[in-house]
Structure 1
Amino acid sequence: MNQLTKQSSDSEIKAYFNAVLKLTKSSEQFPVNLEEVWPLVYSEKGKAVRSLQDNFIENEDYKVFAQNGKNSNGGRPINEYRLSVSCLEYFIVRKVRPVFEVYRKVFHKTTSFQLNPTDPSIVKAKIMVAKFAMNTLNMNDSSKLLLVKSIGDPLGLPLPNYTESVDQLLSPTELLSRMGNPISTREFNQKMIAAGLLEVKERPSSSGKTKTFKSLTKEGMKYGENQVNPSNPKETQPLYYVGMFEKLFDMVTMNRQIV
């Protein structure tokens, strides 16, 4: 099959996924050649291989086939990496929104083939993504629970429906409004960043660009929690404990020592 790139059209991507679907129906466990899909996300094949090896399990999510003979570019023979469908989805497809939309139309809406949410390889991939999100986004317990339930509910695992919080959580905009808006939310965020309590994180957008969002640091989480943004689960939004906000406000606006 032809190699896909960021310049590939929707029809080319759809044709490729349909070919993969046919191989899957014939019980092919690793129907995807990494060589054909890595340019959709990565700038170099080496980066794709390292990410694959670091985040997925060989012989379960992907398989390496040693190629005999010489490399056409000289040097040692190049290994061939074959991916499972679930690995393709979480390793490549979900990182590029337009590609995922095409993938979803081929796989998720095909009545004769549906990914089983209880399949061990899919569960492992979801757990890996969940761990990455929890560690990277500094989620609060409620957001972590929602993520865990999305994995555990299809498996019938008993999980609680809520978590306890230290105090009521509200946005800085609402809390500043209750104080009479002494400064804007933007100014407050800048002071929080300067104090090392808030940081700016990045995520790729569906258009291939980079978007930023704010997240409380470990020190900042003494005064609030990072909740998954309802508008975008790839982001968190900082919420603050009502009972501690005025104290926090005084500290960051008067440059007092953070305690």
Structure 2
Amino acid sequence: VGLPNLAPQYAIDAPAGALDGSSRPTLALSALLKQHGIRMTANQAYQQLAKLGVVEHRERYSRSAINGIKKFWSLTAKGCMFGKNITSPANPRETQPHFFESKFPELLKLLDTVH
């Protein structure tokens, strides 16, 4: 019996390949690195993920930032296989990548390929 699917497709943030189409829990990169005992800072990991095309630097104007430009990380289309961009709690004009817990082991394997 069950209920009809009430959420529009674009509102569901399931990772690519999720058979049930349901949303998955996400965490910040620093939390996942710590949880998995990886001795790497989030910034180091982001630099590696950028080389893989998973994340990219975006910019916005800021009166207080150096040269008036504030940089922040954002997931690329390729990166959306591993997570989603959420609105940054620090500034609503920035995104903050959050990664699917279920996809993190796969992302770690990808990180191992960067030199």
The structural deviation recorded for 1:231 is: 1.5
* Higher RCO, Cα 8 Å, sep 6+: 2
For 1:173, the aligned partner's letter is S
8 Å CA contact retained: 2:13, 2:84: no
The structural deviation recorded for 1:246 is: 1.3
SS at 1:232 equivalent = coil
Partner of 1:73: none
CA-atom RMSD in angstroms: 1.9
Partner of 2:36: 179
Residues 179-220 of structure 1: CA deviation (Å, up to 9, x unaligned): 113322111101100001110011001347111000000111
Larger Rg: 1
Larger relative strand fraction: 2
Answering whether residue 34 of structure 2 is matched by residue 165 of structure 1, we say no
Supply the distance in 2 between the matched residues of 1:181 and 1:251 (Cα, whole angstroms).
14
Supply the distance in 2 between the matched residues of 1:230 and 1:199 (Cα, whole angstroms).
19
The structural deviation recorded for 1:254 is: 2.4
8 Å CA contact retained: 1:196, 1:219: yes
SS at 1:238 equivalent = strand
8 Å CA contact retained: 1:199, 1:215: yes
8 Å CA contact retained: 1:191, 1:253: no
SS at 1:240 equivalent = strand
The structural deviation recorded for 1:165 is: 3.0
Runs of 4+ in 1 over 3 A off after TM superposition: none
Answering whether residue 45 of structure 2 is matched by residue 188 of structure 1, we say yes
The correspondence of residues 242-253 of structure 1 with structure 2, limited to 5 A, is 242-253=101-112
The correspondence of residues 1-259 of structure 1 with structure 2, limited to 5 A, is 163-166=11-14, 167-207=24-64, 209-255=68-114
Supply the distance in 2 between the matched residues of 1:246 and 1:184 (Cα, whole angstroms).
17
Unaligned runs of 5+ in 2: 1-7, 15-23
